[in-house]
Structure 1
Amino acid sequence: MQPMRHIFCVLTGLAALWGAAGSAGTTKGILMELNAADLVGEACRVTFVVTNQTDTPVDKAIYETVLFSEKGSVLMLTLFDFGALPTGVPRVRQFQVSDTSCSRIGMVLINGANTCTVAGDQNEICGSGLGTSSRIDIELKG
């Protein structure tokens, strides 16, 4: 009977962890994933998947973005225009980083929202609750 109690405790613990992990995905905010980085000619094309998890559609989102080398030095400070971000619908955005090999980029930092327009007015929604992740070797921070 003792082994059954241990199995029950383990399963209960796993269920609790599963529930916590599931609720983490429902965070309200803008979720940004660095999905790919491909060399196209002399440029690195970076691909993002962005999902607006808020209840408010964003008309225009432009983020100040910093690209760092693998050694940590700043390669470039630029603006990436993510355009409109409707609620709950993933959007894929690609940006060409001229004269830069993808292998030179070690980290991408979203330094903040340069422009965030909701219903024609500037809004803080693009920066508050920004969640970042990366599917590739290049780290994405926000």
Structure 2
Amino acid sequence: MPLVAALALATPLKAQEAGISVELNAQEQVEAGCKLSFLARNGLDGDIAKAVYETVLFDGNGQVERLTLFDFGTLPAGKPRLRQFVVPGLQCEALGQILINGASTCEAGELGAAACLQGLTLNSRTDVEMMG
């Protein structure tokens, strides 16, 4: 019976890994603006040649601060990638939420154009909430 329970638990974990995960790992105030560091992981069966996400930044009151595009570039299967973006003129402490609104560009070969949003999971190691 314990083996059956272990097998039942293994299935959901595998399902969570099959997809794209994006974590807001850090934010740092720099002279030009707010530098956001994202850790992206591709848990799909193939590489993504180019992933560009339409991203909405909200202030601490939930109001839209700006709509922008974050180019995550290549996301190889099974390998984490750190991507950093400096948002000009933004004060990091004013940032309240980040919404991944969709994929503006997704070049994923045989995986198809929907691959960049397939199983998308969002996390944050900061006080800024990630939504999608």
TM-score interval for Structure 1 and Structure 2 normalised by the shorter chain: 0.7 to 0.9
Runs of 4+ in structure 1 off by over 4 angstroms are: none
For 2:128, the equivalent position in structure 1 comes to 138
Aligned length: 127
For 1:32, the equivalent position in structure 2 comes to 22
Amino acid at match of 1:111: N
User: Structure 2, unaligned stretches of length 5 or more?
Assistant: none
For 1:117, the equivalent position in structure 2 comes to 107
Is the partner of 1:56 in helix, strand or coil? coil
Q: Aligned-pair distance for 1:141? A: 1.1
> 1:75 aligned to 2:62?
no
Cα distance between partner residues in 2 of 1:115 and 1:68: 22
Cα distance between partner residues in 1 of 2:115 and 2:18: 10
Q: 1:23 aligns with which of 13, 24, 30?
A: 13
User: Structure 1, unaligned stretches of length 5 or more?
Assistant: 1-11
Q: Aligned-pair distance for 1:56? A: 1.6
Q: Aligned-pair distance for 1:53? A: 0.3
Alignment of 1:81-120 (within 5 A): 81-119=71-109
Report sequence identity in percent.
45
Cα distance between partner residues in 2 of 1:78 and 1:65: 5
Q: Provide the TM-score with structure 1 as the length reference.
A: 0.81
Amino acid at match of 1:95: F
